Amino acid sequence: MKTQKQMWGIVKHIIVLGIGFIMIYPLLWMLMSSFEISPNIFHRAGLFPYEIGLANYPAGWAGLGRWTFTRFFRNSFMYAGWATVGTVLSSSVIAYSFSRGTYPGRKILFAIMLGTLLLPAQILMVPQYLWFHTLGWVGSYRPLIIPAFFGGAFFIFLMTNFMNAIPHELDESAKIDGCSFYGIYTRIIMPLSVPVLVTAGLFSFIWRWDDFMGPLLYVQGRPQQFPVTLALRVFADPTTVTDWGAFFAMSVLSLMPAVLIFIFFQRYLVEGISTTGLKG
Amino acid sequence: MRKFLLKDNVAGVVFALPFIIGFLSFTIVPMLLSAYYSFTRFNILRPPEWIGLENYRRMLTDERLRESLFATFYFVFASVPLRLIMALAVAMLLFKSTKMMGIYRAMYYLPSMLGGSVAVAILWRRMFFATGTFNSILDVFGLNRNFAWLGDSRTAIWVLILLAIWQFGSAMLIFLASLKQIPTTYYEAASIDGASKVRQFFKLTLPLITPTIFFNLMMQTIAGFLTFNSAFLISQGGPFNSTNFFALYMYNHTFSWGNAGYASALAWFMLSVLAVTTGILFGTRRFWVYDGGFS
């Protein structure tokens, strides 16, 4: 009986590892192909390059025309960084209002916020574009960064739940000691909600880093403003000949921030997904 | 003034202000604008011209819209259930292993984390070329036909569906979290009563995680209906509109064909399709979702 159970345990591990290997194969293949300097890259099924070298990396980094990937990475960092700062700060302020506010109408506001959670961005794509066009913001990152400073529904939801779990006794005793509504936020709730702020910040950063549709709508015509995502798309334009080795090299670099975040902050990500169903 | 701002209710509203302002200016205003544009002929460059219900009437006879809806529904109905089944199956396999959890999680979750990126979408396109890796792997098993998977209107959509299923990792993590909440005493009691593992799964595990299944189903269905990146980057809607998903069709009307008015009408149409679909999902809730909690 016992050996049978052990056998099943081993078989299970083999199955899980086997499927896992298939799952991760495309990513491994891309990583290995970024070191492939033989032009046979397309046909290879296996992982190991015919000829190993680093030449793809400088070739890819040279970028598009006048602009190298230094520029594109800087743009991506700028966009993801500012949008994340904006989203995290404003969402925590709003979540505090939903969690601790006592003003009339706050339940309705919260319900509206939940409603926008179900309202997909693509539905607003056209009208928002036209609105930002009217405002004269098209052609810059303003349409992507400025709205971030007015909260993100997912993060407000996540943070409100977290703040609701912070004992109310803490703010009540602070209040008795003369702390105002503002003081309770900066001295009690904000410091105690650091873990959820980190989770939100990581997700926001990854999403913005990966964002393709936003920059496609707003900075498409200006290569000097391209984030990495747009640069990669133009790099592998189906209508021209693509240097696949160089493309894979830049792809690997473009995925690095997300991979590093995964390696070092796994706990926060898993927490965020399992408690709220955030999409990773 | 200072005293007024210090009142708790006033301060509460002050903290909610970013949401109120943001909601009005980045959601309500665009929605009202688009409601107006949906009754106009409008190409962004010149001022809109009122044409009444013309855009909505046009939808009735729009053959490409029909194809686009078909492709979108096909994609959603194939990818969402398969993705959830994969997620649940692997979550069940991983559920009790603790030793290798870190490695397993990396293997299963990384595709979900990186799969939405431009890099992976283009990699995917490259893999399914006639001379791509996928055919080379088939070759190893002697199955290669040098088939261009993206060139055929029957298979192209499956390349996209496969990419969507491949990203089941985050749904899997949600399932794992909910499986861990089922008290082990339930299983002990079931074993004592002589219930087999299979029976335990269908009579105990599955009913208890139906709220999670429902939640996943909702979110993934909504996201599925609005898939854009993969269709735009991998198949460009082709061949023969077989992957011309709704969001892509809307995008092209606005930015490629200068029909922002018609695209606005399409957005409202999609919003009602989504409302009806999620409404139906909610309606079925009481037939299969167990809300009793764990006590």
Q: What's the mean per-residue pLDDT of chain A?
A: 88
Any residues with CB less than 8 A from the CB of A117 and at least 6 apart, and which? A153, A154, A157
A26 touches chain B (CB under 8 A): yes
* B28 φ, ψ (degrees, to nearest 5): -65, -50
Which residues from B are below 8 Å from A270, CB to CB? 105, 173
Tens of pLDDT, residue by residue over A29-43, are: 999 999 988 776 667
Residues 6+ apart with CB under 8 A from B169: A280, B87, B108, B109, B110, B111, B112, B113
Domain range annotation of chain B? 64-288
Q: Does A277 score more than 90 pLDDT? A: no
Q: What is the pLDDT of residue B103?
A: 84
* B287 Cα to chain A: minimum distance (Å): 23
Percentage of chain B lying above the pLDDT 70 cut: 98
Q: Does domain B64-288 have CATH number 3.50.50.60?
A: no
**Which residue of chain A is at minimal alpha-carbon distance from B19?**
A150
The pLDDT tens digits for B259-270 are: 989 999 999 999
User: Are A280 and B109 a contacting pair at CB < 8 A?
Assistant: yes
Q: Does residue B246 surpass a pLDDT of 90?
A: yes
pLDDT given at position A44: 77
Question: pLDDT at position B293, please?
Answer: 56
Residue A239: pLDDT band (50, 70, 90) is confident
pLDDT for residue B10 is more than 60: yes
- Cα A246 to Cα A20, A53, B273, distances in angstroms: 27, 12, 42
Helix B29-37 vs helix A121-135: crossing angle, to nearest 10: 90
Cis omega (within 30 of 0) for bond into B239: yes
Q: Is the ipTM of this complex over 0.85?
A: yes
**Cα A185 from Cα B78, distance rounded (Å):** 46
B183 in helix, strand or coil? Answer: coil
Of the residues B39, B108, B133, B178, the best mutation for testing chain A's interface (the one with the most A CB atoms within 10 Å of its CB) is B133
Cβ–Cβ gap B8/A248 under 8 Å: no
Partner-chain residue, chosen from A128, A210, A228, that has the shortest CB–CB distance to B26: A128
- The domains found in chain A, sorted by start residue, are 2-57 (no CATH), 65-276 (1.10.3720.10)
- Kindly list the residues from chain B whose CB atom is less than 8 angstroms away from the CB atom of residue A101: 8-9, 12-13, 15-16
CB distance from A151 to chain B under 8 Å? Answer: yes
The CA distance from B200 to B178, in Å, is 16
Of A126, A151, A180, the CB nearest to B19: A151
Higher pLDDT, A2 or B115: B115
Pseudo-torsion of CA B28, B30, B36, B41, nearest 10°?
-170
Give me the residue label for tokens 């016992």: A2
* pLDDT tens profile B156-187: 999 999 999 999 998 998 898 888 888 888 88
Question: What does the pLDDT look like over B24-41, one tens digit per residue?
Answer: 999 999 889 889 999 999
Neighbours of A15 (CB within 10 A): 12
Give me the pLDDT at residue A42, please: 65
